[in-house]
Amino acid sequence: MFGWEFPPHILGGLGTACYGITKGLSMQADMEITFVIPKAWGDEDQSFVKIIGANNTPVVWRDVPWETVKNRLGKFMNPDEYYRLRDHIYADFNYIYTNDLGCIEFSGRYPSNILEEINNYSIVAGVIARTYDFDIIHAHDWLTYPAGLHAKSVSGKPLVIHVHATEFDRSRGKPNPIVYGIEKDGMDHCDKIICVSNLTRKTVIDNYHQPEDKVVTVHNAVEPLSPEIEAIERLAGVPEKIVTFLGRITMQKGPEFFVEAATQVLKRTNHIRFVMAGSGDMLNQMIHMVADRGIADRFHFTGFLRGRQVYEMFKSSDVYVMPSVSEPFGISPLEAMQCGVPCIISYQSGCSEILNYVIKTDYWDVDAMADSIYSLCTYPGIAEFLKEEGKKEVNNIKWEYAAQKVRDIYNQLVYR
């Protein structure tokens, strides 16, 4: 499996989803998974999956003593593994900058030279594909498609690509041609495309011109909450109801619609406060907008939240709003529902396909959104109902089931 993120070092929903799928698949007794990430940090949970960091895989032959390898890579892998990988270097990559172990450095993030990093990642993939024995290749999102294709051409094994988002979602319909090219190339040459929602599947079919029978939907799921998270209490010290937006503050997530809805609600009420949690390229614009509408006294920004803070925010919320303009799946409403927070989501998000116990509006229908926020904060009947039923519903959306669907796809490819 090729992925760009793996918990605990995640920047968005991609890492969480990769973790869930891997964990779900690992519940199948005859499944063995190797997960390649650009940069291994050493604190990843390796109990059910073998993690290989591309930054620890040699692409240039260096004569390094066993002791050095043990010191340097001991916490990531068995030193013998290094030598095994080194035996499968397939070309002269001296023109690339490598360190004393012959490995390429990776940031593991989304740097400005991302295209170079993607290319390096696929060079490493060549070494890994030659070293290990496997039945199927699974690549998550466009960053890893070239690596997946490379591994496929080296090994001849079937390639599944997993579309967590497309360039059309990220750019509100104005795709970057280079990214689109990489995505299209991956989709054209793989064996099966898994999409996280029917919405994404439609985009892949329409905008990437893929045959319908090649593209299947496997909806995402959510990990059950750990007891420590369950135990978090409401932190908010204000008596008002709290309505929360949580996510990257970018065009794709529709933060301005949240501000507009908040303006509508705040004009008429005094028992509701709004919180926008997260950061992103539109944060400053949103702060200006809130100031301009004159609602800054009851509209708050928290900045970027990570790990436990996210759940503290959920637990302190009375309503969670996700007005995404185009959301391939959107895992955060599921997390909010786990915490017992009633959700309002846009029809334009993939998770609305599998959720019944949430309120759905169009992302642009600010009036309807404001109306729903008001109801959830004012009528206990509906808030209680969605809280209880939503929790029940989301507890039945398990990675185990999603992984079974993925397995069916593997079986089709392996035993054809």
The residues, ordered by sequence, that sit 6+ positions from 215 with a Cβ below 8 Å of its Cβ are 193, 195, 201, 204, 205
Segment interacting with another protein (CB under 8 A) among 44-52, 77-85, 88-96, 384-392:
384-392
CA distance 40 to 43: 8
Contact residue for another protein among 379, 408, 411, 414 (CB under 8 A): 379
Q: Give the Å distances, CA to CA, from 366 to 168, 241, 300, 321.
A: 23, 19, 19, 12
386 binds another protein (CB under 8 A): yes
Contact residue for another protein among 378, 391, 400, 407 (CB under 8 A): 378
Beta pairing partners, 160 = 138, 192
Taking the complex as a whole, how short is the minimal distance between the CB of residue 265 and another protein, in angstroms? 8
x/- letters, 243..282, toward another protein (CB under 8 A): ---------------------x---x--------------
Exposure letters 330-356 (e unless 16+ CB within 10 A, then b):
bbbbbbbbbbbbbbbbbebbbbbebbe
403 binds another protein (CB under 8 A): no
Q: How many CB atoms lie within 10 A of CB 176?
A: 12
392 binds another protein (CB under 8 A): no
CA distance 117 to 104: 9
401 binds another protein (CB under 8 A): no
* Residue among 257, 256, 262 nearest 240 (CA): 262
Q: At 378, list the tokens.
A: 């004012």
- Of residues 327-366, those binding another protein (CB under 8 A): 356-357, 359-360
381 binds another protein (CB under 8 A): yes
* Residue among 104, 137, 142 nearest 120 (CA): 104
Contact residue for another protein among 374, 394, 402, 403 (CB under 8 A): 374
Taking the complex as a whole, how short is the minimal distance between the CB of residue 344 and another protein, in angstroms? 9
Taking the complex as a whole, how short is the minimal distance between the CB of residue 212 and another protein, in angstroms? 22
By CB under 8 A, how many residues form the interface with another protein? Answer: 22
Residue 352 carries which side chain, given as an amino acid letter? Answer: S
384 binds another protein (CB under 8 A): yes
Report the length, in residues, of the chain. 416
Beta pairing partners, 245 = 276
Taking the complex as a whole, how short is the minimal distance between the CB of residue 356 and another protein, in angstroms? 5
Binding stretches for another protein (CB under 8 A) = 264, 268, 356-357, 359-360, 367, 370-372, 374-375, 378-382, 384-386, 388-389
